[in-house]
Structure 1
Amino acid sequence: MCWPLSVNVCRAKRRRCVALLLGALILAAPGLALTSGDKAASERAALAAYLKDAVPRADNFQDRFDAEVWLLDMSGRLKPFIKDPAARLTFLRGVHREAAAADLPPELVLALIQIESRFDQYAISRVGAQGLMQVMPFWKNEIGRPDDNLTNMDTNLRYGCQILQYYLQREKGHLSRALARYNGSLGKTWYPDLVFRAWRGRWYDGPLPYHGIH
């Protein structure tokens, strides 16, 4: 399903969907009984291919957002996490730009960031995930961009948003499963529940265009 933000975004998304479908058909071909390790490697390769295409293209995305009401509203909600008003507006414009480039609702991205890092762009997890959306640094080498800085706000948002969009496509719009994949806890609901709670409690701005929402 395509939730259009622009003609170009939708066309690009359809191309990615076709590529993913072809990959799935290859994996499902008769006689290819993959082990769990093979499947994990295949999925990682597919995501790497998606990012290799999506991350550079996002650099050229033109921010067309002019809804000052949204910025003012979200700035007030973000105040407990980022005290400086100018820093809040810069951050929110970045979130909206990268969310739009990945065809994601920015409120969902805000909820995910709240759970992942509490808006600390320099956060590092015990397993090495970095930045606002806690992106694993190995993805930089996987897509041939080893010099990318994941503590840079825009870079981290670009990676994180595109990864989440990939998992949404992988799960056919089932948000709970996509979030669980993002966290590496597929089959469990504790992480999606945390994100949903944050979204409803602080960032809700209308229904999300997905299913599988608790």
Structure 2
Amino acid sequence: MNRHAPDTLRRRLLLVGSAALLAPRAILAGAQREETLSDDVASVMRTSVNNVNPARLVFANPRDGERWLSDMSGRLARFLPDEAARHRILINVQYETTRAGLDTQLILGLIEVESAFRQYAISNVGAKGLMQVMPFWQRYIGKPDHNLFDIRTNLRYGCTILRHYNNIENGNITRALARFNGSLGSSKYPNAVIGAWRNRWQWA
């Protein structure tokens, strides 16, 4: 900025810069494609979305579950300072991803990219919640009164949708991620999710 700029202009520019620094991270949700599902596929997905059981950690050894929760909670603290909120999200993520046959750690990377773990995030195209689910999915696989800002509901939808795309792509998770984001043909989004997974969420 020119040091001779009028004080009013200088203050205005400083306010704009401060607002940019304080603004929440941009949501990277793309324009998920509304598509026609076969009756069989829609029925399977609808059953998955509507079949609700209490969320719990799914580990063969409960001690592994406790160790995982403690480790992931520490990593998630940079996004969520409240420990109870972290545990709630992590238990639900682990349960829903296991139920859908998805890699839990990869989905943590996806949620970081999509919403930075903000439960009430909404994109400029209307995608909602942790996994940035588009509301049109309620017509195909859910119910109009489903709350996509609810943690369990959002994760159940998101995991069901990604599993559907992974099936379409015969297990090619890179292409499935691009479909989930509505950006098939571009590697930007899958690379961002995989990068977040590798940098922050891998677990042995």
- Equivalent residue for 1:129? 127
CA distance in 2, matches of 1:194, 1:62: 28
- Equivalent residue for 1:52? 46
CA deviation map 1:63-85 (0-9, x unaligned): 35331000011011101001011
Partner of residue 192 from structure 2, selected from 191, 194, 197: 194
| 1:87–1:177 distance in 2 versus 1, CA, 3 Å | same
CA distance in 2, matches of 1:151, 1:41: 22
CA distance in 2, matches of 1:118, 1:132: 8
| 1:115–1:144 distance in 2 versus 1, CA, 3 Å | closer
Q: After the TM superposition, which residues 59-208 of structure 1 pair with which residues of structure 2 at under 5 Å, given as runs?
A: 59-60=52-53, 63=56, 65=58, 66=62, 67-206=65-204
Q: When the two structures are aligned, how many residues end up with a matched partner? A: 166
CA distance in 2, matches of 1:55, 1:63: 17
**Retained in 2: the 8 A contact 1:130–1:150?**
yes
CA distance in 1, matches of 2:179, 2:165: 7
CA distance in 2, matches of 1:121, 1:192: 22
- Root-mean-square deviation (Å): 1.9
- Equivalent residue for 1:19? none
Q: Could you tell me how far 1:46 is from its partner in structure 2? A: 6.7
TM-score normalized by the length of structure 1 = 0.72
Q: Could you tell me how far 1:48 is from its partner in structure 2? A: 3.6
Q: Could you tell me how far 1:42 is from its partner in structure 2? A: 3.9
- What SS does structure 1 have at the residue aligned with 2:123? coil
Stretch of structure 1 that moved more, 48-57 or 137-146: 48-57
CA distance in 2, matches of 1:202, 1:44: 37
Greater RCO, 1 or 2 (C-alpha within 8 Å, sep 6+): 2
**Retained in 2: the 8 A contact 1:50–1:166?**
no
TM-score normalized by the length of structure 2 = 0.76
**Retained in 2: the 8 A contact 1:61–1:101?**
no
Q: Which has the larger radius of gyration?
A: 2
CA deviation map 1:24-64 (0-9, x unaligned): xxxxxxxxxxxxxxxx744587764442121112x136635
Identity level (%): 49
CA distance in 2, matches of 1:170, 1:191: 18
CA distance in 1, matches of 2:96, 2:163: 11
CA distance in 2, matches of 1:132, 1:126: 15
CA deviation map 1:106-126 (0-9, x unaligned): 111100000000001101111
CA distance in 2, matches of 1:116, 1:45: 29
- What SS does structure 1 have at the residue aligned with 2:119? coil
Unmatched 5+ stretches in structure 2: 1-33
Q: Could you tell me how far 1:129 is from its partner in structure 2? A: 0.5
